[in-house]
Structure 1
Amino acid sequence: MKDWNKILSPTVQNVAPSGIRKFFDIAAEMDDVISLGVGEPDFVTPWTIRESCVYGLEQGYTAYTANRGMPELREEIAKLKKTQAGIDYDPKTDILVTVGVSEALDLAMRALLAPGDEVLIPEPCYVSYKACTALAGGVPVPVPTRIENEFRITPDDLEAHLSPKTKVLLIGYPNNPTGAVMSRKELLAIAQFAEAHDLIVISDEIYGDLTYGNEPHVVFSSLPGMKDRTILLDGFSKSYAMTGWRIGYALGAPEIIAAMTKIHQYTMLCAPVTAQIAAIEALRRGEKYMKKMAAEYDRRRGFIYRGLTEIGLQCFEPKGAFYIFPDIRVTGLSSEQFAEDLLRTEHVALVPGSAFGECGEGYVRCSYATALDKIDEALARIGNFVKKHTK
């Protein structure tokens, strides 16, 4: 028998498995489970987007594309960012189409980090952030946020974790798992911090179109002095219900995009042509469908917030994405125990907050990207569970 501990990469062995998947492996073997766990829209990709893909296949579009992505798609992405935030990105040099935002994040980390470089990562955060940092040879440095501040990050928070090895700041707003957003004024302070300490900012804005209320989403690279300092990550999975298409993109300075493309051409080569065709259609004619889905998420957001509050779980009202992050400490259970016991006894699947970093302990993530009647039933089951465990 081989000693696999000696054969497998120590870096890979030290990366923990995703804290999200465990509970869905259990749920897959159970009946009558309501899932508030996976960040998966319950909508089907709008029909015009699907039809564009079918048409492309019928016309024989099955070959490789340029490494950076189809020129037509890059042009549409450039138009989008110009319209959204007034930023000029050159489709030829500043844009890379990737296999989902996950690949874009991985490429950015590998293009930027040398062994030992540190990355500031506000927590709670998406599960891939720290893993991608470590796999690229970097050192993730968690920066805790608090419910009292609605899980926003401040320059003082970042300053406390800065070191001579700090190279990158990775932010993701609207936030997964908390639903937190940042105002323009707050982001300006973060931009000034990044400039003062000569940091590169990776801004994951996959949920940017799913921002609720009167304050619009702020594209980080649109802030003064931030365009060349920012790698902007975005995609189609959440706002266009295109998770399985695996299509995203990165925008940044030509030198950064060239470095990321160099890795991309040796690993992925290009994003799937069918997904790129669908993405072009999404940008040209999909906005009305995206807005309709966002309005429905907003309706569910209010419903689940009121429901969890009435149950007795303290919640900050999310302002973006499609997650809510209730405080479950009144039950006396750890996040993992709460999630596991709730799944086994009430057949409701959600994700323990500890999966998103140490400061997520005492919370759970609930996704409201599911039908309202299912959310209603899940709330009844959660209420029953909390009543039994509240002292």
Structure 2
Amino acid sequence: MSQNTPAQPAFTPKPRVSARIAAIAESATLAVDAKAKALKAAGRPVIGFGAGEPDFPTPDYIVEAAVAAAKDPANHRYTPAAGLPALREAIAAKTLRDSGYEVSPGQVLVTNGGKQAVYQAFATVVDPGDEVLLPAPYWTTYPEAIRLAGGVPVEVFAGDDQGYLVTVDQLEAARTERTKALLFCSPSNPTGAVYSPEQTAAIGRWAHEHGIWVLTDEIYEHLTYDDAVFTPIVRAVPELANTTIVLNGVAKTYAMTGWRVGWMIGPPDVIKAVTNLQSHLTSNVANVSQRAAIAAVSGDLSAVETMRTAFDRRRRTMVEMLGQIDGVRIPVPRGAFYAYPSVAGVLGRTIRGVTPTTSAQLATLILEQVEVAVVPGEAFGPSGFLRLSYALGDDDLVEGVSRIQSLLGEAE
């Protein structure tokens, strides 16, 4: 052997990254937001509709509670993995106030944001091979969390012709002997759809009849418009209480995305099991953030109403402007802070020499040609749609949609 020839390893190299982690898809919403911010930092006049993040500061009384907490040495130490007792009690009281049913503090687990609650919920009730019914369009993290738990996401699609609301008949058609759980999200990210009390109750009764767990994401509970109302599925069908996990947090309601405080509510045995998981995974949430969350959920909703009023104004502006574009259809969103137009009538037409055939290609064209960042439908299910958040300033909103109007108006 030549002295210059490297020695061959005596073993077969193993993959550097586990197959489980390598299979995770990047969060499309965060990727779009990061790209928009990078272009802005480079001096480009990019307007981003990608991130679901309120543009308001966290209300002062919440910030003041955090400042006081930071000065208290008691908050400089470990605290219970399940959350500060005072916060768990406050969340239980808030649930009675806002959702209309009682839970004990022992049924509450405080998590590092809503995403941790989502992941831990699936990890706790889903075994390998279990199927989880996933109404689509869906938030981009749900299928990844299901797969990480070893589960199989089963998409149940409702298009713009249905107002993005799945029916009991669709869910029943997708149900098999392996169906373990249903993900329910109302108001919805990404569509802004809100199930009526009657629809919510019908889905809840169906799940109870078939012994299907319900994981209900209620983080947009206070953001509804027009005649839409938020309906907690456990209040609609109280019998579900023993097979339902409620996912929630302070991020959207109180403009606290960066504080990282979420929670889950469920049957005591499930919460005990999830607490064991969290004790090994992250232990307690930052105490200063928990103290801020106590102020948030215990206070009145006047600051929330101010933000909701602004979102409503922006919603109406966005829907009106998007509806003026030839080839775009948009059911009026009645919750959260997203619009989810169908762009099927634009695809296949030529715009500035490019003929996009997917919403991903169209989103790239919009970013490259008019420097507006939107999230393509592929991040949330089938192609043919775009998600635009209206949680940004009024002037930026009008400018950004005006650019899209101008560009798509050139479609031939």
Equivalent position of 2:66 in the other structure: 53
Are residue 352 (structure 1) and residue 376 (structure 2) matched?
Answer: yes
1:279-335 Cα shifts (integer Å, max 9, x gaps): 011122252111110111011111101111122321000000000011112222311
Distance, in Å, in 1 between the alignment partners of 2:35 and 2:284 is 35
Cα distance 1:160–1:370, how it changes in 2: closer, same or farther (>3 A)? Answer: same
Are residue 383 (structure 1) and residue 405 (structure 2) matched?
Answer: yes
Are residue 19 (structure 1) and residue 41 (structure 2) matched?
Answer: no
Q: 2:201 pairs with 184, 188, 201, which one?
A: 188
Does structure 1 conserve the Cα–Cα contact (< 8 Å) formed by 2:217 and 2:246? Answer: yes
Distance, in Å, in 2 between the alignment partners of 1:128 and 1:4 is 31
Residue type of the partner of 2:205?
A: Q
Give the aligned CA root-mean-square deviation in angstroms: 1.6
Q: 2:340 pairs with 325, 331, 348, which one?
A: 325
Does structure 2 conserve the Cα–Cα contact (< 8 Å) formed by 1:49 and 1:286? Answer: no
Equivalences for residues 1-80 of structure 1 within 5 A: 6-27=15-36, 28-30=38-40, 31-60=44-73, 61-80=75-94
The CA deviation at 1:193 is: 1.1
Unaligned ranges ≥5, structure 2: 1-8, 348-355
Equivalent position of 1:366 in the other structure: 388
Q: 2:221 pairs with 183, 202, 208, which one?
A: 208
Equivalent position of 2:192 in the other structure: 179
Distance, in Å, in 2 between the alignment partners of 1:63 and 1:243 is 23
Distance, in Å, in 2 between the alignment partners of 1:62 and 1:287 is 29
Unaligned ranges ≥5, structure 1: none
**SS in structure 2 of the partner of residue 142 of structure 1:** strand
Higher Cα Rg, which structure: 2
Cα distance 1:4–1:75, how it changes in 2: closer, same or farther (>3 A)? Answer: farther
> Sequence identity, in percent?
36
Equivalent position of 1:232 in the other structure: 246
Does structure 2 conserve the Cα–Cα contact (< 8 Å) formed by 1:240 and 1:286? Answer: no
Distance, in Å, in 1 between the alignment partners of 2:191 and 2:72 is 43
Distance, in Å, in 2 between the alignment partners of 1:9 and 1:55 is 43
Equivalences for residues 223-302 of structure 1 within 5 A: 223-224=236-237, 225-285=239-299, 287-302=301-316
1:40-98 Cα shifts (integer Å, max 9, x gaps): 1100111111111011111222222211111111111111111123211011x211011
Distance, in Å, in 2 between the alignment partners of 1:349 and 1:271 is 32
**SS in structure 2 of the partner of residue 275 of structure 1:** helix
Distance, in Å, in 2 between the alignment partners of 1:54 and 1:316 is 43
TM-score, reference length from structure 2 = 0.91
The CA deviation at 1:3 is: 8.3
Residue type of the partner of 1:29?
A: L
Are residue 340 (structure 1) and residue 364 (structure 2) matched?
Answer: yes
1:140-187 Cα shifts (integer Å, max 9, x gaps): 111111111101111111111111111010111111110001011001
Distance, in Å, in 2 between the alignment partners of 1:187 and 1:380 is 36
Distance, in Å, in 2 between the alignment partners of 1:190 and 1:214 is 20
1:222-242 Cα shifts (integer Å, max 9, x gaps): 122122221001110001000
The CA deviation at 1:4 is: 7.8
Equivalent position of 2:120 in the other structure: 107
Equivalences for residues 134-149 of structure 1 within 5 A: 134-149=147-162
Distance, in Å, in 2 between the alignment partners of 1:96 and 1:79 is 14
Distance, in Å, in 2 between the alignment partners of 1:197 and 1:226 is 11
Distance, in Å, in 1 between the alignment partners of 2:97 and 2:21 is 41
Are residue 166 (structure 1) and residue 188 (structure 2) matched?
Answer: no
**SS in structure 2 of the partner of residue 202 of structure 1:** strand
Residue type of the partner of 2:399?
A: E
Distance, in Å, in 2 between the alignment partners of 1:41 and 1:198 is 37
Distance, in Å, in 2 between the alignment partners of 1:330 and 1:357 is 18
Which is further off, 237-246 or 205-214? 205-214
Determine which structure has greater relative contact order: mean sequence separation of CA pairs < 8 Å that are 6+ residues apart, divided by chain length.
1
Distance, in Å, in 2 between the alignment partners of 1:264 and 1:379 is 42
Cα distance 1:214–1:109, how it changes in 2: closer, same or farther (>3 A)? Answer: same
Does structure 2 conserve the Cα–Cα contact (< 8 Å) formed by 1:213 and 1:319? Answer: yes
Which is further off, 123-132 or 21-30? 21-30
